[in-house]
């Protein structure tokens, strides 16, 4: 496994950055916290992670203010040059708002915050994120969100399906489709067409030890070191 330099962003209201630091350090990687007012990423960056939380209090719309932070211009440039970017929960929302990922995240269809360990079905493994997982494998990963209802128009979604951009779907323990928050086609995670920008609502950094209820997050995050 290659040792990575992981740059983890911090916005006002971010609350999962230290969990993310711990998760990647547990895998043997170096981590750097990058404040949202920074205009450049560390030169040694191998992976950018936009972690979960409530950036700017989720005012206006989740991620809609954070996308205008100075550091996001650097992230957009980094992604445009092929750099790998991972958005987790609020980070996924920020990446859609910044147009680094297609689609949008809406309020859950039950209008409630959902917090629990959730089964996920692996849809595609031909990418740096899930390359250590098996297609159709069922993982157990915590979710904690109020705005996780993924939405996109049917035509674009069909293109994403053909391109292998759908990464994860919500499911039950047997892998059957499960409606969790209203996400179109039960989508829990996607990537861009170039497969270097990834986003998911579940929290793999919270599934790194059995005492936490699951270790399935290890293989998800570990994949970047083997890509």
Catalytic residues: 89, 203, 205
Count of H-run helices and E-run strands, the chain: 5, 11
What is the b/e burial string over 135-171, where b = at least 16 CB atoms within 10 angstroms of the residue's CB?
Answer: eeebbbbbbbbbbbbbebeeeebeebeeeebbbbbbb
Q: CA 130 to CA 128: how far, in whole Å?
A: 6
Report d(CA 66, CA 34) in Å as an integer: 14
- Find, among 37, 38, 50, the residue nearest to 7 by Cα: 50
Structure tokens of 188?
């829990």
Collapse the DSSP code of 204 into the 3-class scheme (helix H, G, I; strand E, B; otherwise coil) and give the result: helix
Place of tokens 């992230």: 75
Task: Please give the C-alpha separations between residue 2 and each of 20, 46, 158, 211, 227, in angstroms, as whole numbers.
Answer: 18, 10, 34, 27, 9
Kindly give the residue spans of alpha helices, DSSP state H, lying in the chain. 17-26, 70-80, 90-97, 154-163, 216-222
């Amino acid at each position: 496994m290659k040792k990575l330099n992981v740059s983890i962003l911090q916005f006002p209201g971010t609350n999962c950055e230290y969990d993310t630091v711990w998760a990647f350090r547990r895998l043997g990687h170096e981590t750097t916290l990058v404040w949202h007012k920074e205009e450049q990423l560390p030169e040694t960056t191998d992976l950018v992670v936009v972690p979960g939380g409530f950036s700017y209090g989720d005012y206006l719309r989740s991620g809609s203010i954070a996308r205008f932070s100075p550091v996001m211009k650097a992230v957009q440039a980094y992604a445009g040059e092929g750099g790998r970017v991972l958005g987790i929960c609020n980070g996924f929302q920020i990446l859609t708002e910044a147009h680094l990922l297609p689609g949008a995240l809406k309020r859950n269809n039950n209008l409630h915050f959902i917090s629990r360990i959730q089964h996920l079905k692996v849809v595609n493994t031909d990418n740096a994120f899930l390359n250590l997982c098996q297609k159709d494998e069922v993982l157990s990963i915590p979710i904690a969100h109020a705005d996780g209802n993924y939405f996109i128009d049917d035509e674009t979604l069909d293109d994403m399906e053909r391109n292998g951009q759908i990464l994860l779907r919500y499911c039950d323990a047997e892998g059957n489709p499960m409606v969790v928050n209203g996400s179109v086609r039960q989508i829990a995670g996607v990537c861009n067409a170039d497969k270097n920008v990834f986003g998911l609502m579940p929290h793999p950094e919270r599934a790194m030890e059995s005492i936490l209820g699951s270790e399935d997050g290890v293989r998800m995050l570990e994949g970047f070191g083997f890509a």
